[in-house]
Amino acid sequence: MNLTAIQAALRDAGYSGWLFYDHHHRDPIGERILGLDPKAHITRRWYYFVPAQGEPHKLVHRIEQLRLDSLPGSKTLYSSWQELAAGLEAMLSGATKLAMQYSPNNAIMYVSMADAGTVEFLRSIGKEIFSSANLVSEFEAVLSEEQKTTHAAAQKAIDAVLAEGWKEIGRRLRPAGGKPESFTEFDMVQWLSEGMRREGLIWENGPNVSVNANSSDSHYEPTAEKSSPIREGDFLLIDIWGKQDKPEAIFYDITWTGVIGREPSEREQLVFTTVRDARDAAIAVVESAFVEGRTIHGFEGDDAARAVIRNAGFGEYFTHRTGHNIAVEIHGPGAHLDNLETHDERLILPNTCFSVEPGIYLPEFGVRSEIDMLTASNKAWVTGEVQRELVRI
């Protein structure tokens, strides 16, 4: 835990302090920020208050009184619920504006870890509760230079695996002097997975390889038991992600689409062009904000992409947010590009990573075009290869 940095951020935000609270590991965000053991035996409530200035304070149960000893600050013990209530009042005396893992109306549910009853009690003793969402982004989503390097390594590896994957599909369908090989989406998932393993990458689930109507399911997962064959004439989507197998490594996550053994139909080309232009509109909004030095919220990137798709008449077929934060987890704790599933008012901060991935999902096929972006204090950029046309296999 970087106490100095946390307190400086609290003063900048105008908060009295940040109240962390846990019970049975209900708040993994707080555990990570405080550097606590995620496997520790926690059967009683604990509270840790970091004031904007001064010494932090702990409130822990007597039978788990060592639980927060790795953290700085004084300590109060409780056993009864009456002692707990009195301890909270005393610990927070003089503090009025508290940041917590809370979101008004559960709008940013990714940080809504504090239960309603705890918030109700704190309000009953005169406390104002504010969302810690932007604080969480600052301490969980902002990347070090070393982490950016891990993202670049994953990008280089995955871009190469995917490029070879398109060729592998062609080789299997049109072997030199032989009969076309019968293979499925799941077979291609296995081939891509082996390629990433050779590069030393790790991931959860996926990758996703889907043909024709299956590509209309944005979270389609082919399995050995349920998988469609890949054939000449198919429309094909590949979504692939991974990271280096080392602590604090950052994911790389992309989606490309193509056609096999033919030119795209007029409708396929129209849908792809619309998605590509929507992606580029979101990229441009983010790039310009950072170059101009103005703040930008997550929802603004979504608005830019969604307007292009809506204006082309496909609004009802764009059924998910435009992008998600990327960090140690594939769906990270920072701002998402979202004004559909949530109204994400979190700021897109310098030195963060996120995807831009608008999509249109018609009944017969779906198109998604996904890239990743990184930001710095005065610029934002796409980190890997950018698809401009449908791949021809």
Work out the percent of the chain whose per-residue pLDDT is above 70: 100
**What pLDDT shows up at residue 134?**
92
**What pLDDT shows up at residue 1?**
83
What are the residues facing 46 on neighbouring strands? 22
- The backbone torsions φ and ψ at residue 244, rounded to the nearest 5 degrees and listed phi first, read -65, 150
Same domain as 119, residue 180: no
Same domain as 72, residue 178: no
Q: Is the peptide bond before 207 cis (omega within 30 degrees of 0)?
A: yes
Same domain as 228, residue 99: no
The per-residue pLDDT for range 103-148, each reduced to its tens digit, is 999 888 889 999 999 999 999 999 999 999 999 999 999 999 999 9
Q: Which helix (H) or strand (E) holds 368?
A: strand 366-368
Q: Does position 178 have pLDDT exceeding 80, yes or no?
A: no
**What pLDDT shows up at residue 309?**
98
**What pLDDT shows up at residue 243?**
97
SS3 40: coil
Same domain as 197, residue 65: no
Same domain as 165, residue 131: no
What's the Cα-to-Cα distance from 281 to each of 142, 244, 270, 286, 322, rounded to whole Å?
A: 24, 30, 16, 9, 11
Q: Is the peptide bond before 264 cis (omega within 30 degrees of 0)?
A: no
**What pLDDT shows up at residue 261?**
94
Q: What is the CATH number of the domain that holds 371?
A: 3.90.230.10
Q: Which residue in the block uniquely carries the two structure tokens 């707990």?
A: 84
Task: Report the pLDDT averaged over residues 240-254.
Answer: 96
**What pLDDT shows up at residue 50?**
97
- 326, 374 in Cβ contact below 8 A? no
**What pLDDT shows up at residue 163?**
97
Domain boundary residue among 140, 159, 176?
A: 140
Angle (deg, nearest 10), helices 81-91 and 116-124: 60
DSSP line for 332-360: -SS--B-SSSS----B--TT-EEEE--EE
- 250, 273 in Cβ contact below 8 A? no
- The backbone torsions φ and ψ at residue 108, rounded to the nearest 5 degrees and listed phi first, read -110, 80
* Residue-averaged pLDDT of the chain: 95
The tokens for 74 are 């004084």
Q: CA–CA separation, 207 vs 222, rounded Å? A: 9
Same domain as 181, residue 120: no
The per-residue pLDDT for range 340-353, each reduced to its tens digit, is 999 999 999 999 99
**What pLDDT shows up at residue 176?**
81
**What pLDDT shows up at residue 91?**
96
pTM recorded for the entire structure: 0.90
Task: Report the pLDDT averaged over residues 11-19.
Answer: 96
Task: Report the pLDDT averaged over residues 373-389.
Answer: 96
What are the residues facing 58 on neighbouring strands? 48, 75
The tokens for 8 are 């400086």
The per-residue pLDDT for range 97-108, each reduced to its tens digit, is 999 999 999 888
Q: CA–CA separation, 30 vs 32, rounded Å? A: 5
Domain boundary residue among 112, 140, 168?
A: 140
Same domain as 170, residue 125: no
DSSP secondary structure letter of residue 229 = B
Q: CA–CA separation, 80 vs 62, rounded Å? A: 10
Q: Does position 88 have pLDDT exceeding 80, yes or no?
A: yes
Same domain as 344, residue 311: yes
- 102, 131 in Cβ contact below 8 A? yes
Work out the percent of the chain whose per-residue pLDDT is above 90: 93
Boundaries of domain holding 103: 3-140
Q: What is the CATH number of the domain that holds 19?
A: 3.40.350.10
Same domain as 164, residue 80: no
Task: Report the pLDDT averaged over residues 144-155.
Answer: 97
Say which amino acid occupies 114: A
Q: Does position 207 have pLDDT exceeding 80, yes or no?
A: yes
Report the chain's terminal Cα–Cα distance, integer Å: 50
SS3 332: coil
**What pLDDT shows up at residue 179?**
81
Task: Report the pLDDT averaged over residues 329-340.
Answer: 95
- The backbone torsions φ and ψ at residue 343, rounded to the nearest 5 degrees and listed phi first, read -95, 90
Same domain as 256, residue 206: yes
Q: Does position 262 have pLDDT exceeding 90, yes or no?
A: yes
**What pLDDT shows up at residue 175?**
87
Same domain as 112, residue 260: no
Domain boundary residue among 124, 140, 156?
A: 140
Q: Does position 177 have pLDDT exceeding 80, yes or no?
A: no
Q: CA–CA separation, 73 vs 203, rounded Å? A: 38
- Closest by alpha carbon to 119, among 11, 17, 9, 21? 21
**What pLDDT shows up at residue 181?**
78
- Closest by alpha carbon to 217, among 239, 234, 184? 239
Same domain as 146, residue 41: no
State how many domains the chain has: 2
Q: Does position 315 have pLDDT exceeding 90, yes or no?
A: yes
